[in-house]
Amino acid sequence: MKEFAVLPKPDDPRLTQRVIGQDEKGEKVETSVVVERPLTLFLNGQEIVTMMTIGDYPEYLAVGYLINQNMLRPDDQITGIDVDMEIDTVVVRTRRKTDFEEKLKKKTLTSGCAQGTVFGDLMEKFEDIALPKDAVLKTSWLYKLTKKINTAPSLYLEAGAIHGCVLCEEDRPLVYMEDVGRHNAIDKIAGYMFLEGIKPEGKLFYTTGRLTSEMVIKTVQMRIPILVSRSGFTAWGVELARKANLTLIGRAKGSRFIVLSGAERIVYDADARTVVEEGRGRKASVDGD
């Protein structure tokens, strides 16, 4: 799979608007702001949820959401995906008959921005997943990845107020998705992997957002053993990562990072002193907590 097979679309006029305001000197300024819109998801004939999203890749978001909520099985056959952005709906149709009325009654509001919601049992299937112990992350890969990701064209750099998630392999970013909520961005990648037949073996995740319980759970459910963020941790996120033996790396900026779980997978093969710190010699990227 080629590097950056999927990239953000900062030049897409549907995703940002130009707005006039004033700066700290009281002078007129024009800036870009991210557009968010509702998207209602149906599974067959049943309404599942309305999500706030930037609206790109709705088919990947819909399928990934259903996978990460355990509403789609790995062997499910999708017979159609109908997207109608005029009425902000996406309908996923499957060969298997589905009915999640009872599951939809039980929901947990997560800490995700844009109010991420996990339906049913938050820990469903989590404890039964065994992540590969032989997975490896070389620090040389990590330093190359963060530089490539943080300098790639993105809404993250253009307007802020956005989160990004990147599926990677060794030192190559493969699929870069963005949205107003990090849970949406990771769902888009889950949907892409399902629809395009991408396997989790040898993969790792990078995110611009906090390492919360929801991010850990979704990464583990997708059977990806390494999760990296430029941001920080929550206590429950760390606890769950240790329980699942997920390698959890946070505050990854320039040569710096902190590992709070799964450190045995890391190979320290690079001299951190040779890594240029972020913000030196280029425009520093917007921090997306």
**What would be the CATH architecture of the domain defined by 137-274?**
3-Layer(aba) Sandwich (3.40)
First and final C-alpha spacing in the chain: 30
How far from 14 is each of 95, 179, 189, CA to CA, in Å?
33, 13, 21
Picking from 58, 200, 187, the residue whose alpha carbon sits closest to that of residue 129 is 200
Please, which residues have CB within 8 angstroms of residue 208's CB and are 6 or more apart in sequence?
156, 163, 164, 165, 182, 229, 230, 231, 287, 288
Picking from 211, 170, 184, 155, the residue whose alpha carbon sits closest to that of residue 34 is 155
Alpha-helix residue ranges (DSSP H) falling in the chain: 58-68, 101-105, 139-151, 155-158, 182-196, 213-221, 235-244
Q: What are the residue boundaries of the structural domains of the chain, listed by start? A: 137-274
Mean pLDDT by 10 residues, the chain (289 residues): 94 94 95 94 93 95 94 94 96 92 61 51 77 96 95 88 95 97 94 97 95 94 96 96 97 95 97 70 40
Give the pair of three-digit tokens for residue 209. Answer: 């957002």
What does the pLDDT read at residue 197?
96
Backbone angles phi, psi at 236, to 5 degrees: -70, -35
Compute and round to an integer the Cα radius of gyration of the chain: 19
Q: Determine the Cα–Cα distance for residues 241 and 11; give it in Å rounded to an integer.
A: 36
Kindly state the greatest CA–CA separation across the chain: 60
Give the pair of three-digit tokens for residue 261. Answer: 């779980």
What does the pLDDT read at residue 114?
45
Q: Determine the Cα–Cα distance for residues 150 and 203; give it in Å rounded to an integer.
A: 19
Torsion, Cα of 270, 273, 279, 283 (10° steps): -60
Q: Determine the Cα–Cα distance for residues 93 and 115; give it in Å rounded to an integer.
A: 26
Q: Determine the Cα–Cα distance for residues 182 and 164; give it in Å rounded to an integer.
A: 6
SS3 content of the chain, % helix, strand, coil (to 5): 25, 30, 40
What does the pLDDT read at residue 208?
92
Q: Determine the Cα–Cα distance for residues 253 and 239; give it in Å rounded to an integer.
A: 23
Residue with tokens 């009425």: 87
Give the pair of three-digit tokens for residue 84. Answer: 């109608």
Give the pair of three-digit tokens for residue 191. Answer: 């949907």
Torsion, Cα of 140, 143, 148, 150 (10° steps): 170
What does the pLDDT read at residue 91?
98
Q: Determine the Cα–Cα distance for residues 272 and 256; give it in Å rounded to an integer.
A: 8
